[in-house]
Structure 1
């Protein structure tokens, strides 16, 4: 369906007034047990936008019970009916993209144009999985010994716990909710405490699209450990889908072990961005801007370590610094702003410390590198050259607008260095040599490669990593498999 050619964004006050601030359980909006609330801050000013319900452990159990009660009937719902709900939700998100963008900008800071892009991206997951809902297939065959026929069924795994991060508050919700709905699973969604409003708005959209009560339940809470652990260890959640840090992922895996909860996890990244001597530098710089500056660098797919062949490193770094230095920093709601604030003070302090460490080890600052005065959690786009391999930012997910440039001369050397990390989510390769492009793509220990492009995310592609960057895949034709089980029935011949 068509979208307006010229966005018309409502004010933050308008979108905040339209979003419920309560828990969404069993199809109803309710207060948290004990009436507790938590603040939602504006990272551009540090001021409190509003208060939302702060769920307690009892609310978690109530939400899970609602999901369990709805599971059998929802699993028996016709695939086409599930598909149509997702399609209607896709249309509603598309129609309300401007308002959803304004909401995301208010609660996490990204510029309005980028937030609107996320709204479109989020909607596409519902459209994609609306199409996958009617394509869940089993099988039928005679077994090799000829004694039995094999009937193969696909069934939903059951009630799911979905935990989403703050950096893409709408799209990470639809990327998990979409396949769960398509597969016939009920859900408890726990969004990040920094960005609960997008998830609450999404719950309202799905209810309007016809999703039955209890299929989706939303818990906003500042006490994730207290609320989540009892759900995972109690034996009633059958699936956990988590996007967040590797450290938290390890904790959740341990909590899943006693009840053998099925898991899929999209964890941290430390993406290498490799520019060979024959690369098209125009394409490489453009790709670097996309891979580094998407969402102010607060993305697990963000390019972290820039390895540039020594013959083109100076020109690449200079061109990248000019591009990044020309970006306008400010509140995401202000027209013309390219780079909004980081999510909070802790996030900005981490970036400051990583840059200071690199400079102390000999790095040169080409642009940026110093924190501006005034309110908000702003940090300027920064390019560093002469970065020591011993710098902390080489082994830490930066999650900020900082590009660290190192040089190399040998393919084997750069591949080995790129792989020398516990993470393996995505890598970027720029070269015009076809054989080398395929060879290096195969050798990189990552789940995704951007070959002469800085953007890999797409609802139609399987998203996920290897090593400590996660388990399983989201999106693409395989995304729904994470929410389905196989059942084999032996039938005598």
Structure 2
């Protein structure tokens, strides 16, 4: 570890942040954070207890009335100040993400840009929350529609995009006038700790944002979800965990936003620009080493171009360099932990045993760290596990199709429906795919489509609700209808 890395890590708060104060866990316990490129411990973070979680919710509840009445322009200016502060510290935030999560620095810098944009976008939305006024059709009343903050919100974020997932939830909540308790993933909590420090530095009032890092998520968040003071739950993570949280949230009938698993199909038709399709495939597969719910999971390629596409993709992915994300020239970092690497290898072995051909990669390299090489598999059976399951790693399985109907059938043959990608020169086909593929998002001739200004979310078991875009703030607003007697009298 370099001196610059040690200096940065020493500047990041590792305690809990409750009611505007950094403090140790009530048990004084901590848990370790590791560098996935080496396995070394890089920090010890406060391990919140259920009592700490209750204190955080109490602080959010206490601050809710004042924050909800804070003028929208003031909330907007604080979010804009946070955008400026994160942007000013982009190098520090990017390096910290690379140290705890593993992605190469250029990808971490791209996440800083993307994540900060949610702060700027929702700062602009805060002052434009609108309602409505109209005369009832029968003339008896006037109909007034008022938008109000939902209230204290619990935000549970994943480990793979530690800045962007925090900003994508905190920014609309604060813009809408909601206070929050955020629980980052125990694998990558440090980026969220640094971001919350930024919010404190720019003047977000005490109690508006509270941070509880913990290694025992269910023990700490379970009582909060059952607490009537909590009014909103937003979760990004696996579908399995999302189902259990939805069940728990039903007891209080909480407002919920769920961004869950994905199994994104990447369709390549016989009229596609193959070079552009390969470029898009690399982007859609290798962002975050494939550890993204939006990562292309299944490459569905027309039989007429499958061999050529597979060869070109294998050449591109096989040339990528593995290594610690802080090193110059590294394209692919480690996976986040050993069991994640082992799961990817297990899926590849299953496909190979089922008859798939390895065009590049396909074996765990030696040495320290939790690395897995970019891998391309051809001739993958439709029932292979890595076609049915979310891979979350740098593996591209190729399945062939015969025509458009066959492609749509394969694309929809999953319980998930977060995002899909399609490469074709046929505009009419693109429009048909938009209507036929069961997905919340669709990229046409584009391998990366995430944008703070666009609604992010899925259908089927990929989630409920949308984050980002003009609808993102609605997830944190309640609608009140006020019926007013005809002011002109009977």
Q: TM-score range by the shorter chain?
A: over 0.9
Counterpart position of 1:348: 341
Taking the TM superposition and a 5 Å limit, the aligned residue runs for 1:61-100 are: 61-100=54-93
Question: Aligned partners of 2:4, 2:324: CA distance in 1, in Å?
Answer: 13
SS in 1 for 2:267: strand
The CA deviation string for residues 65-90 of structure 1, in whole angstroms up to 9 with x for no partner, is 00000000000000000000000000
The CA deviation string for residues 74-117 of structure 1, in whole angstroms up to 9 with x for no partner, is 00000000000000000011110000000000000000111011
In the alignment, is residue 133 of structure 1 matched against residue 107 of structure 2? no
Counterpart position of 2:382: 389
Question: Aligned partners of 2:403, 2:101: CA distance in 1, in Å?
Answer: 41
Question: Aligned partners of 1:489, 1:440: CA distance in 2, in Å?
Answer: 42
1:310 to 296, 303, 306: 303
Taking the TM superposition and a 5 Å limit, the aligned residue runs for 1:359-378 are: 359-378=352-371
1:40 to 8, 33, 38: 33
In the alignment, is residue 438 of structure 1 matched against residue 428 of structure 2? no
Counterpart position of 1:219: 212
Counterpart position of 1:160: 153
Counterpart position of 1:230: 223
Counterpart position of 2:273: 280
The CA deviation string for residues 277-307 of structure 1, in whole angstroms up to 9 with x for no partner, is 0000111000000100000000000000101
The CA deviation string for residues 180-211 of structure 1, in whole angstroms up to 9 with x for no partner, is 01000000000000011011001110111110
The CA deviation string for residues 408-431 of structure 1, in whole angstroms up to 9 with x for no partner, is 111111101110110000000100
SS in 1 for 2:367: coil
Question: Aligned partners of 1:420, 1:202: CA distance in 2, in Å?
Answer: 39
Residues 160, 237 of structure 1: 8 Å contact kept: yes
The alpha-carbon deviation at position 10 of structure 1 amounts to 8.0
Question: Aligned partners of 2:27, 2:306: CA distance in 1, in Å?
Answer: 59
Identify unmatched segments of 5+ residues in structure 1: 1-8
Question: Aligned partners of 1:365, 1:236: CA distance in 2, in Å?
Answer: 54
TM-score by length of 1: 0.98
The CA deviation string for residues 24-62 of structure 1, in whole angstroms up to 9 with x for no partner, is 000000000110100001100011111010000000000
Residues 11, 102 of structure 1: 8 Å contact kept: no
Counterpart position of 2:445: 452
The alpha-carbon deviation at position 11 of structure 1 amounts to 2.7
Question: Aligned partners of 1:434, 1:50: CA distance in 2, in Å?
Answer: 51
Question: Aligned partners of 1:335, 1:95: CA distance in 2, in Å?
Answer: 22
Identify unmatched segments of 5+ residues in structure 2: none
Residues 160, 239 of structure 1: 8 Å contact kept: yes
SS in 2 for 1:427: strand
In the alignment, is residue 411 of structure 1 matched against residue 404 of structure 2? yes
Counterpart position of 2:98: 105
Residues 38, 51 of structure 1: 8 Å contact kept: yes
RMSD of aligned residue pairs (Cα, Å)? 0.8
| Count of matched residue positions in the alignment of Structure 1 and Structure 2 | 485
The alpha-carbon deviation at position 14 of structure 1 amounts to 1.8
In the alignment, is residue 357 of structure 1 matched against residue 350 of structure 2? yes
Counterpart position of 1:51: 44
Counterpart position of 1:145: 138
Counterpart position of 2:7: 14
The CA deviation string for residues 196-251 of structure 1, in whole angstroms up to 9 with x for no partner, is 10110011101111100000000000000100110001211100010000000001
Counterpart position of 1:30: 23
Counterpart position of 1:245: 238
Question: Aligned partners of 2:372, 2:104: CA distance in 1, in Å?
Answer: 14
Question: Aligned partners of 1:133, 1:390: CA distance in 2, in Å?
Answer: 47
Counterpart position of 2:312: 319
Residues 296, 400 of structure 1: 8 Å contact kept: yes
Counterpart position of 2:113: 120
Residues 10, 98 of structure 1: 8 Å contact kept: no
The CA deviation string for residues 229-274 of structure 1, in whole angstroms up to 9 with x for no partner, is 1000121110001000000000100110111011001000000000
The CA deviation string for residues 414-453 of structure 1, in whole angstroms up to 9 with x for no partner, is 1011101100000001000110111012100000000000
Question: Aligned partners of 1:160, 1:146: CA distance in 2, in Å?
Answer: 39
TM-score by length of 2: 0.98
Question: Aligned partners of 1:75, 1:234: CA distance in 2, in Å?
Answer: 20
